[in-house]
Structure 1
Amino acid sequence: MDFLIGGLAAMGATLFSNPLDVLKTRLQLQGELKPRGQHAVYYKHALHAAYVIVKNEGILAMQKGLGPALLMHGVRNSIKLGSYQWLTTNGYVCDSEDRTIFYRSLLASGFGGAAGAFCGSPLFQITTQMQSQAADKIAVGHQHGHSGLVQAFQTIYFRYGMQGLWRGASANILRTVVGASAQLTTFAKSKDVLRKNHELFQHSTVLTAFVASIVGGTCQTIFQTPFDLVCIRLNNQREKRRSS
C-alpha cells in the first residue's frame, strides 16, 4: 500500500508541478555548450519563460510531456517513497525511540532513489525530450519531434536499441540518489526536531508533515539542481544511430 500511495501522491503533484518542469527544462537547455554571450537568450527567467512559451505556443504548451511525466513520477516515487516507508516501518531507519538515525536514513533513501531512477529512466528521457519541443523561433536544445509517449518509445528503441532507452541513466541515478537522500533525510529529521522542541507540532501530524516537507523539498532542490542540469542535457542530446 505504501508503494501505491507514494506513486499516486506523486502523480497528483505532477499535475501542478509539470508546468514548472517545462520552464526548468527550457532554461537548463538554453545556451547548451556555448560560451556566455554567444547564444540567443529566449528565456530570461522563469516568469519570462512562461510568458514567451504561452505567447508562442499557447497555454497548453505549459503541460507538454504531461503523460510521460505522470508515469515517470508515479514509477519513481512509488519505488522511492514506498521502499523508504517500508524500511522505516520495519525498524531499519529509526532507533528504539522512533528517532531517525541519520546514516540509515541516507542509505535507505539513496537505495530507493537509485532503484526508482533506474526503472523510470526511459520515461524521464521521453519527458525531457517532449518538454523541450518548442516553436522554431524559441527552440533550445535538440528537437526530437515526438508526437506522443508510444511513438517516442518506438522511435528511441528502433533508432538506438534498448540501450538508448536508458541513455543518461547513470546521471539520472546519481541525481536522484542525491536528491532523495537530501529530501527524505531532512524531512525525517525535521519531523523529529519539530515534535521534540515545539508543542504545537506534537498535536498536529499534518502540520508537522507540511513544514517538514517544505524543508525536505528545499534541501532536495539545492543539492539536486547541478546534477539535474547534467541529466537534462544528457537525456535531450542527439545520439548516433546504432549500427545495423
Structure 2
Amino acid sequence: MAAGTGALGPFPAAALHDFPYPSQTAAPVSHGPPAGGVPPAADLVLGAAAGCMACVLTNPLEVVKTRLQLQGELRAPGTYPRPYRGVLRAVGAVCRADGLRGLQKGLAAGLLYQGLMNGVRFYCYSCALDAGWTGWPGGTVVAGAVAGAVGAFVGSPAYLVKTHLQAQTLSAMAVGHQHNHESISDAFGSIYRQHGVAGLWRGVSGAVPRVAVGSAAQLATFASAKDWVCQHQWFGEGSWAAVLAGGMVSGVAVAVTMTPFDVVSTRLYNQPVEADGTGKLYRGFLDCFAQISSKEGLLGLYKGIGAVYLRLGPHTVLSLFFWDELRRMVRPQPPPGP
C-alpha cells in the first residue's frame, strides 16, 4: 500500500490459481534459488508492473482518502465545513466537483510511485528471499518492513506530487493547501526550481515509517487471516474468495496500525512551505503527529480510515495476482519431453 500503500509487503511467490501461502504454524523453510526461477532483477520490473496495474483500479480510493485526511487540518472537530463525509459521499462529492475523471486525479504520479516503490520493494524482498533471510524467525516481517522502507524512500518524490494533484479541486470543495500544479511535469519542475533536489523528498520522514509499519503488519497477519477464514469454512481452501477475505480481515489490523502514519504522511507532503523549503505547518514527523493529536484529537489521526481499509484487501490481491501472472510468463519453461 500503497500506498498509495498497495500490497504493502511482498509474499512468497506461488501460482495464485491455488494460493499455496504457507500456514503461520508451519515450520520455517529454507529458501534457495529464486522462487520459480525468477531473479531479483526480474522481480524489480514485474513488481513495478503489478503495482501499476493494481493502482489503476484503486486510485479513486486514494483520491478520496487524501481529501478526507486533509479535511479540517489542525482545526477542532465541529469547527469547520465538511464537504467530504464518509467514503461513498466523498466519492459523489469528488465527481460533482471534478467530474468522473476527478476520481483518477494524480493517476500518472500514482503509477510512477507504484512503479518505483513496488519495483524496489519487490527487488529487495526477492534478494532477502534468495539469501535465505526470510527463513529465520521473524525474518519475513523484518525483510518486508525494510524492503517497504527502501521502496518508500525511492518513490517519495512521486508520492509528493501525487498528493498535491489529488488534493487540487474547486475552491468551494478545497481542503488542505492548494499547490495549483498544471500537470505532473509542471509539479516536478516547480518543486525542483523552488527547492532543489531536497524539496522532492519533503515528507519522506512520514513515508518511511508509514510503509514499514504497514508492511510489517500486513506480513504478520495476511497468511494467518487467510488460514483462519479457511478453517472456519467460510470459503474453500485456495479460492479467490478466501484470499480476498483474508486480505480484508488482515486489512483491519493494517488499517488500524497504518492510518495514523498515513494521515501524518499526507499532511507533511501537502503542507505549504517557506522559501527555504521548510514546512509552514509542521517541522517533521513527530511535530505533525503531536499537532494533529492535540488540535484534532485521537480521531484526527484516523481520518480516511474507511478508504484506507476498503483499498487494502483488493489492492493486495490484485498486486499479488498481477505479480504472479507476470512471473509465470517469464519463468523458464522445462524442456519438452522425449
TM range (shorter): 0.7 to 0.9
Q: Does 1:228 align with 2:248?
A: no
Equivalent AA in structure 1 for residue 67 of structure 2: R
Match of 1:172 in 2: 207
Shift of residue 189, structure 1, vs aligned partner: 4.7
Higher helix proportion, which one?
Answer: 1
Aligned-residue identity in percent: 36
Match of 1:42 in 2: 83
Equivalent AA in structure 2 for residue 230 of structure 1: V
Stretches (4+) displaced over 4 A:
188-198, 205-212
Q: 1:237 aligns with which of 271, 276, 280?
A: 271
Write out aligned runs for 1:1-244 (5 A). 1-94=42-135, 101=137, 103-190=138-225, 201=237, 204=238, 209-242=243-276
For 1:93 and 1:30, the matched residues in 2 are separated by 40
Listed one character per residue, the Cα deviations across residues 119-156 of structure 1 (whole Å, up to 9, x for unaligned) are 01111110000000011100001100111111111101
For 2:190 and 2:142, the matched residues in 1 are separated by 36
- CA change 1:119–1:29 in 2 (3 A) is same
For 2:161 and 2:84, the matched residues in 1 are separated by 22
Equivalent AA in structure 1 for residue 64 of structure 2: L
- CA change 1:57–1:105 in 2 (3 A) is same
Root-mean-square deviation (CA, aligned residues, Å) is 2.4
Shift of residue 214, structure 1, vs aligned partner: 3.6
Structure 2 counterpart SS, 1:39: coil
Please say which of residues 230-239 and 43-52 is displaced more in the overlay. Answer: 43-52
Shift of residue 50, structure 1, vs aligned partner: 1.1
- CA change 1:213–1:74 in 2 (3 A) is farther
- CA change 1:37–1:215 in 2 (3 A) is closer
8 Å Cα contact 1:133-1:145 kept in structure 2: yes
- CA change 1:40–1:195 in 2 (3 A) is closer
For 1:55 and 1:86, the matched residues in 2 are separated by 46
Shift of residue 241, structure 1, vs aligned partner: 1.4
8 Å Cα contact 2:117-2:154 kept in structure 1: yes
Equivalent AA in structure 1 for residue 195 of structure 2: Y
Shift of residue 74, structure 1, vs aligned partner: 1.5
8 Å Cα contact 2:226-2:247 kept in structure 1: no
For 1:192 and 1:181, the matched residues in 2 are separated by 18
Shift of residue 161, structure 1, vs aligned partner: 1.6
For 1:36 and 1:208, the matched residues in 2 are separated by 39
Equivalent AA in structure 2 for residue 12 of structure 1: M
Listed one character per residue, the Cα deviations across residues 49-107 of structure 1 (whole Å, up to 9, x for unaligned) are 11111112211001000000011012111222332233234421125xxxxx3x21221
For 1:48 and 1:210, the matched residues in 2 are separated by 25
Number of aligned residue pairs: give it: 235
Gaps of 5+ in 1: 96-100
